């Protein structure tokens, strides 16, 4: 499992596109995974035949764990070397082949950069795992060596508990999980390669405090669908709700988990201020209808959001100090001379905020094209982590749900977010008479460390002024 999102520690396998026995080619997408930021497709960097899928769909896997093995030897019985994990790689060997000596294994390791699933390499590390205290200078302890040999022969190794003198071997995400569940790693029986404690081992150790689970009599080393990895003692989401059930528990993971953490961090870090304005957008709605028939906009998505986005960009150009971020470490305000315009999008996996890069430099047709592509990609669940990074300001359109307005929370690291309410006919005083007009309410939340009340009011008033009289898109641009 590669790090597909710049420092993420785990990902959930959403779907396998191959099965054991299938032929794969270099660059072929073999599975889709969901990180805390997005759903990502993983290609295989080998030609060969799939030997084994190590984890089922729905399993959450730590970065660095081997998830698939491929036999790259044509007509051979031995599977190919697996996509190497950062630590303790395991190579598949023929059942009858003897285990190589440690020195020979080190000489067989290729030098330079190793391929991983996403198609780029990682530098080979000279760092060696420190030996256990019971190990001799000439090689691993007999129990550990027997466990590794058993794994190479395709048999589940006999679990060996860590000795009291040695610190239990576990990766940082597993240690954090154990801490969250209140599990002492010294009491956990490891089943991973070289005595590493896995996520499943921690869940098993925590199981006595939870509801009993049905476990197969001889469970293989790879996790199975009968044993979900969620920390919450809840049935899988796919399981039908029993008649009369009063509660359903859904594990918090992936995009929804990341969103929750980001929103809590933003709400309690940046002092939020929200201002509101109700505006007559009848002229803007008429312009939208005219643009739909304009040949220069043919084939593009033309809607009120397009002109609202353009209005916000004009307001930022007139008030550039609003487009900034707060650098706590350097104690500096960083004013951005570009606008990466975020659009909050609700997807089945949760709320995501991809952004249009350098939106300030785009013409209206270019902006329409970029917004259309952004929305379509988000709905398909194909938004990449890069598309959600580097945003400066955001628009959230709560009006599509029939909501008049709201008090949006800032996307972390950004200075402002504009909420757009429902556009609907309302009685409005126009040219001295009460008439039905297209009216909406705008709400602007901003970070009061960066934006004071005067600046925030000017930005919101400018957006409203452009939407009330859209010819200002020309006169103010």
If you ran DSSP here, which 8-state letter would residue 68 be given? E
The reported pLDDT for the residue numbered 345 is: 86
The reported pLDDT for the residue numbered 84 is: 42
- For 103, half-sphere exposure in the C-beta direction (CA atoms, 13 angstrom radius) is 2
SS3 41: strand
450 in Cβ contact with 333 (< 8 Å): yes
Q: Which residues are registered as beta bridge partners of 274? A: 445
The reported pLDDT for the residue numbered 185 is: 82
447 membership: H or E segment, kind and range: strand 433-447
Would you tell me which CATH number, out of the four given (2.40.30.10, 3.40.50.2000, 2.40.50.100, 3.40.50.970), belongs to the domain 1-92? 2.40.50.100
**Cα–Cα dist 458/322, whole Å:** 10
The reported pLDDT for the residue numbered 153 is: 44
Residues 6+ apart with CB under 8 A from 201: 188, 189, 190, 191, 192
Q: In terms of Cα–Cα distance, which of 275, 308, 261, 309 is closest to 451?
A: 275
The reported pLDDT for the residue numbered 8 is: 67
SS3 45: coil
CA 247 to chain centre: 27
**Cα–Cα dist 322/341, whole Å:** 13
Tell me the C-alpha to C-alpha distance, in Å, between residue 308 and each of 254, 341, 364, 365: 31, 12, 11, 14
Would you please indicate which residues are annotated as catalytic (active-site) residues?
Answer: 448
SS (H, E, C) 262-322: HHHHHHCCCCEEEEEEEEECHHHHHHHHHHHCCHHHCCCCCCHHHHHHHHHHHHHHHCHHH
DSSP string, 240-267: PPPTT---------HHHHHHHHHHHHHH
* CATH number for region 257-475: 3.30.559.10
The answer to whether the 1-92 and 257-475 domains have the same CATH topology is: no
Beta strand pairing status for 393-397 and 341-343? parallel
| 449 token code pair | 């460390």
Beta strand pairing status for 393-397 and 416-420? parallel
277 membership: H or E segment, kind and range: strand 272-280
Q: Where are the domains of the chain?
A: 1-92, 257-475
Q: Which residues are registered as beta bridge partners of 61? A: 11
65 in Cβ contact with 3 (< 8 Å): no
**Cα–Cα dist 315/477, whole Å:** 9
Q: pTM score, two decimals?
A: 0.54
The reported pLDDT for the residue numbered 213 is: 41
The reported pLDDT for the residue numbered 165 is: 54
Token match 């950062």: residue?
A: 86
The reported pLDDT for the residue numbered 267 is: 75
Q: In terms of Cα–Cα distance, which of 337, 408, 346 is closest to 378?
A: 346
67 in Cβ contact with 50 (< 8 Å): no
H helices present in 76-229, as ranges: 102-108, 142-152, 172-181, 199-206
**How many CB atoms sit inside 10 A of residue 40's CB?**
20
**How many CB atoms sit inside 10 A of residue 63's CB?**
19
The reported pLDDT for the residue numbered 256 is: 67
Sign of CA dihedral 14, 17, 23, 25: negative
Mean pLDDT by runs of 10 across the 477 residues of the chain is 70 88 89 76 87 88 88 62 43 44 42 40 42 43 42 46 61 73 82 82 70 41 36 42 76 72 75 94 96 92 95 96 91 93 84 92 95 87 84 94 91 92 95 95 94 95 97 91
């Amino acid at each position: 499992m590669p790090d597909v999102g710049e420092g993420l520690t785990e990902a959930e396998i959403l779907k396998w596109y191959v099965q054991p026995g299938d032929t794969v080619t270099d660059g072929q997408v073999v599975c889709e995974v969901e990180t805390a930021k997005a759903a990502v497709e993983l290609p295989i960097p080998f030609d060969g035949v799939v030997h084994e899928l190590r984890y089922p769909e729905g399993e959450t896997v730590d970065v660095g764990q081997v998830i698939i093995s491929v036999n790259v030897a044509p007509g051979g019985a031995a599977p190919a070397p697996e996509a190497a994990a950062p630590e303790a790689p395991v190579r598949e060997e023929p059942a009858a082949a003897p285990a190589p000596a440690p020195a020979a294994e080190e000489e067989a390791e290729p030098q330079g950069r190793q391929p991983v699933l996403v198609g780029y390499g990682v530098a080979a590390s000279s760092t060696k795992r420190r030996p256990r205290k019971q190990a001799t200078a000439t090689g691993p302890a007999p129990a550990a060596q027997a466990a590794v040999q058993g794994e190479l022969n395709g048999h589940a190794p006999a679990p060996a508990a860590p000795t009291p003198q040695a610190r239990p071997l576990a990766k940082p995400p597993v240690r954090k999980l154990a801490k969250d569940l209140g599990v002492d790693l010294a009491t956990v029986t490891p089943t991973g390669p070289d005595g590493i404690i896995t996520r499943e081992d921690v869940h098993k150790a925590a199981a006595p405090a939870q509801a009993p689970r049905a476990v197969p009599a001889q469970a293989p080393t790879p996790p199975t669908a009968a044993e979900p990895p969620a920390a919450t003692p809840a049935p899988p989401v796919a399981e039908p709700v029993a008649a009369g059930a009063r509660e359903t528990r859904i594990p918090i993971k992936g995009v929804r988990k990341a969103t929750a953490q980001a929103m809590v961090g933003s709400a309690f870090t940046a002092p939020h201020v929200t201002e509101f304005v109700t505006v007559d957008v009848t002229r803007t709605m008429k312009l939208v209808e005219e643009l739909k028939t304009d040949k220069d906009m043919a084939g593009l998505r033309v809607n009120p959001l397009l002109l609202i986005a353009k209005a916000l960009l004009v307001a930022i150009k007139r008030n550039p100090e609003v487009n900034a971020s707060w650098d706590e470490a350097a104690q500096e305000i960083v004013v951005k001379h570009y606008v990466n315009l975020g659009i909050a999008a609700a997807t089945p996996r949760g709320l995501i905020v991809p952004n249009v890069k350098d939106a300030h430099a785009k013409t209206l047709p270019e902006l329409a094209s970029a917004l259309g592509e952004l929305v379509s990609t988000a709905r398909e669940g194909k938004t990449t982590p890069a598309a959600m990074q580097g945003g400066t300001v955001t628009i959230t359109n709560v009006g599509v749900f029939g909501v008049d307005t709201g008090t949006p929370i800032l996307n972390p690291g950004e200075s402002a977010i504009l909420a757009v309410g429902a556009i609907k006919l309302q009685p409005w005083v126009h040219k001295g008479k009460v008439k039905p007009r297209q009216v909406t309410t705008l709400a602007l939340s901003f970070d009061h460390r960066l934006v004071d009340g005067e600046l925030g009011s000017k930005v919101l008033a400018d957006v409203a002024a452009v939407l009330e009289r859209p010819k200002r898109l020309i006169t103010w641009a």
